[in-house]
Amino acid sequence: MLTGIGIMILTFVAMEGVAWATHKYVLHGFMWFLHKSHHTRHQHAFELNDLFFAYYGILAMLFFLFGESPLDYRFWIGAGITLYGVAYFLIHDVFIHRRLKVFGKTSLVYLRALNIAHRVHHKVAGKYGSESFGMLWVAPRYYRSASNSIRKQKQTNRGSLLN
């Protein structure tokens, strides 16, 4: 059981690398025609880009099916992919893009840094020139930017309370 949980955690961590490479070289490469919907403004709830979520869901299901039981390593790989998918949905779709209006503005540096990095990625609407392709890993410069943003927000809040 502990080995399985270790495999699941390793898979989850590895998925960040898979997601980064897929985003940079596949989505901003030969599959741009689908991913482009994610970089354009629209009023509908779904995008063609959402098909990639289905791809990873099918991949996880196949690992579960061929894993057959929690004693098989493939079962735990499927669990790691699924766990990453849940994290992706909650962080990317719910928190960052606000597909569900659940979260307000945060004062957590990590979450603010994720949000800033993602905004920088979306600053470029085209196929080329984007940066910050990961979901969970954030470059140190975004932490600095997030810390400064939170500090300024707190100072503004204090100033408005004094007035």
pLDDT single digits (tens) 132-153: 888 888 889 998 998 888 888 8
Weakest-pLDDT range from 21-25, 101-105, 123-127: 101-105
pLDDT single digits (tens) 6-18: 999 999 999 999 9
Tell me the residue range of the domain where 129 lies: 2-162
Sign of CA pseudo-dihedral 121, 122, 125, 126 = positive
d(CA 15, CA 52): 14
pLDDT single digits (tens) 28-38: 999 999 888 88
Tokens, residue 119: 């905004």
Q: What pLDDT was estimated at residue 96?
A: 80
Name the helix (H) or strand (E) containing 81.
Answer: helix 73-88
Q: What pLDDT was estimated at residue 160?
A: 64
Domain tally, the chain: 1
Weakest-pLDDT range from 48-57, 101-110, 127-136: 101-110
d(CA 20, CA 27): 10
Tokens, residue 161: 């309370």
Unique residue bearing structure tokens 């962080």: 91
What would you measure as the largest C-alpha separation in the chain, in angstroms? 64
Report the candidate in 20, 50, 23, 55 with the shortest Cα–Cα distance to residue 37: 50
| Phi, psi for residue 101 in degrees, rounded to 5 | -85, 75
DSSP for 117-157, written as a single string: HHHHHHT--SSSS-----SS---HHHHHHHHHHHHHHHHHH
Pick the residue with more confidence: 81 or 105?
A: 81
pLDDT single digits (tens) 86-96: 998 888 888 88
Tokens, residue 134: 């990961």
Q: Which of the four pLDDT bands, split at 50, 70 and 90, describes residue 163?
A: low
| Phi, psi for residue 137 in degrees, rounded to 5 | -85, 130
Q: Is the predicted pLDDT of residue 115 greater than 70, yes or no?
A: yes
